[in-house]
Amino acid sequence: MKKSCNCKSSESEQDYFSPPVFNGPADGILRSTTQIGPAHFSVKLESYSKLYERIGEKYESGIFEQGGHKWRLCFYPKGNSKTGGDGHISLYLQLADTLTLASCGWEVLAKFEFFILDQHRGNYLNIKESGETRRCFQHTKTEWGLAKLLSLEIFNDVSNGYLVGDCCILGAEVYVTKNTGRMQECFSFIDEPIGNSYTWEIEKFSTLDKNYYESQPFIAQGNTWKLRIHPKGDRLQAKGGLSAFLHWVHDGGPLSDDKVYAEYKLSVKNQLGHNLQENTGKRWFSTSTNCWGWCEFISRDNLKDSSKGFVVEDRLILEAEIVLTSTTKRLP
């Protein structure tokens, strides 16, 4: 007769623990088992019960570097209630070098996966968002993660192996798919910009025989300008009078789409009195249209009439004033 026996088999103790069964990614989270641990960072949390009772809302790990950036894990042992994590543990990846990114408007696109060590079986629970999900980290949104990483019921059950001997081990892998140096642009208007006036004294005016002449450059609020005149007029509508233009000197390439707005005055000084021959304009200056003005700024008759005072001792004085201009600041 065979005797009955209630002794245990020779299989190792860990084989008596049945791994938890997870449903499919109905919650948008994919959970699977892997023998390979996290390649980029792990943190061992000992005295977990004290952490749960005393740490407060979250625990922040030390910084680790991956993909050219600094990161840390943010662990919520009671769940992040602000994002619906009640009844769960929550885990987030936080971008730690935000001061650098904020100063230059950068974004970091990254995918990440979380790990929890099953201490009974020696494998890891791999947890990630389902699908090909990339998250955009920037200075206004530094944390991305999973509010419902794992239910507290499953996590606290010692037989599952995630919390054993008041200790758990968490990890993460981070894959930076793109660093984007997003261009930031700040546009504004400046009244009476710095260096907004310029005077050009043109000697021997009657001897000028070229089609046009340009002044020396002057700078107003960071933009470089020149004055341009056509002594005998530009185009037929000038009728031999003086043509005068404001020219934006653009230092970008020919395919650049840079532009600047200006409200400006051009005037020929009356050297015998206080009256000016003055015209005002308001225009956008661009790489394709960088010169604006008047084909007949002052008539030929007024130039020749010495009593008008516009040409005295064969000298003409042209003045420019940038009344208002736009500024566009860009951070690369």
User: How far is Cα 184 from Cα 210, in angstroms, rounded to an integer?
Assistant: 44
Segment 241-258, tens digit of pLDDT: 999 999 999 875 554 567
Q: What's the whole-model pTM score? A: 0.52
Residues 29-176, CATH architecture: Sandwich (2.60)
User: How far is Cα 241 from Cα 137, in angstroms, rounded to an integer?
Assistant: 61
For residues 294-318, b (16+ Cβ closer than 10 Å) or e, as one string?
bbbbbbeebbeeeebbbbeeeebbb
User: How far is Cα 259 from Cα 330, in angstroms, rounded to an integer?
Assistant: 13
Per the prediction, the chain carries an average pLDDT of 84
SS3 category, 12? coil
| Structure tokens that stand for 156 in this block | 């606290």
pLDDT band at residue 7 under the 50/70/90 scheme: very low
Residue 216 has pLDDT above 90, yes or no: yes
User: Among the CATH numbers 3.40.50.150, 3.30.200.20, 2.60.210.10, 3.90.100.10, which is that of 185-331?
Assistant: 2.60.210.10
- The dihedral over CA atoms of 283, 285, 289, 295, expressed in degrees to the nearest 10, equals 50
Segment 288-330, tens digit of pLDDT: 899 999 999 999 899 999 888 999 999 999 999 999 998 877 5
Q: Which residue has the tokens 């000016």?
A: 276
Contact 30, 129 (CB under 8 A): yes
Domain 29-176 matches domain 185-331 at the CATH topology level: yes
- Find all residues with CB under 8 Å of 5, minimum gap 6, and list them: none
**Every domain of the chain and the residues it spans:** 29-176, 185-331
Cα end-to-end span (Å), the chain: 88
pLDDT in the model for residue 198: 96
Q: What percent of the chain has pLDDT over 70?
A: 83
Q: Which residue has the tokens 């999973």?
A: 146
